Amino acid sequence: MSVIDIPDHPELAERNDAARALVLGFVEAGATAVVNTCGRLRGTDAQMTDANIDFPTWLVDVLAGSGVRFVHLGSAAEYGDPGSAAPIPETHTVAPSGIYGESKWAGTAEVLEARAAGLDAVVARGFNLVSHKVAPVSPLFQFVTDVTKLPPEGGNVELWWPATFRDHILLDDLAAGVAGLAVIQNVPDIVNICSGIGVRFDAIVRAIAREQGKEVTITSLDKPGIPAVVGDNSRLVDLCGVHPEMSAKIIATNVGV
């Protein structure tokens, strides 16, 4: 397995002939799959378009006719507001809002179009990541930061809307799902990489506080966003044999800043 980090490879970032040769070189060396986990969570519209749309579009063009499997990391943000806490199947209507979700969906659409044209491709639609190091834009980063800043006896934590539900996935489970999609036969077009379990934001904050031995109260800022996004992980379980577990305690013991 080889890993390429775009910032460390100017040729790849420029997507020139040298970049094309670099990608195809792995294919010629015997690689059977190419996995794209590159993308941006925040940035200007131009940066988001380049990372989340133009780059996967370029990759599917490079890999056309190569015979390798292309696994593209999508995002739960492509669903937008599903309207309920019921598990979302991959066939659910997409309705992204905001540049991140919109650009991720546009990138996914390019991959699906290439698949329809004959490319062996699948979108691994990732949900909210839990790992020792999470991005500063993740709510989990803010939760850990806010609780850590409290004095030893604890204190108050403000949340935009404490009753918000989200589906989280451990990094190891996400990686296992993506690896499975790189090798299984008869892969579908999209697979949710999720736990299938919704956990409330206030429960996560309380669990983080317990992990640090602090008492917390929670104040709502009464700014609700999308109330709930929970995925249906039936395909992940059936195809890849990944059985994610998730709870507020699991999140609290596995997340860091």
CATH number 3.30.70.2860 is the correct assignment for the domain at 6-129+168-193: no
pLDDT in tens, 130-156: 999 999 999 999 999 999 999 999 999
Q: What is the pLDDT of residue 125?
A: 98
Q: How far from 124 is each of 116, 144, 191, 210, 229, CA to CA, in Å? A: 16, 27, 5, 33, 16
How many percent of the chain have pLDDT more than 90?
A: 89
3-state percent helix, strand, coil for the chain, nearest multiple of 5:
45, 20, 40
The 10 Å Cβ neighbour count of residue 32 is 12
Residues of the chain with CATH 3.90.25: 130-166+197-229+245-254
At residue 35's C-alpha, the angle toward residues 30 and 40, to 5°, is 150
The token duo for 246 is: 């998730």
State both tokens at 189: 């077009």
Summarize pLDDT for 49-69 with one digit per residue, the tens: 999 999 999 999 999 999 999
Q: What average pLDDT does range 209-229 have in this prediction?
A: 96
Fold (topology level) of 130-166+197-229+245-254? UDP-galactose 4-epimerase; domain 1 (3.90.25)
- When pLDDT is cut at 50, 70 and 90, the band that residue 22 belongs to is confident
Q: What is the model's pLDDT at position 9? A: 61
pLDDT value at residue 2? 52
pLDDT at 5 over 80: no
What pLDDT digit, counting tens, does each position of 170-193 carry? 999 999 999 999 999 999 999 999
pLDDT-derived band of residue 93, with 50, 70 and 90 as boundaries?
Answer: very high
Residue type, 41: L
Check whether 6 has a pLDDT greater than 80.
Answer: no
Longest Cα separation, the chain: 62
pLDDT at position 57 = 96
Read off the pTM. 0.93
Query: In the chain, where does DSSP find H-type helix?
Result: 10-14, 17-28, 45-49, 55-63, 98-116, 139-149, 171-183, 201-211, 234-240, 248-254
* pLDDT for position 256: 80
Give the pLDDT mean for 228-238. Answer: 98
What 3-state class would DSSP assign to 135?
coil
Question: Residues spanned by CATH 3.40.50.720 within the chain?
Answer: 6-129+168-193
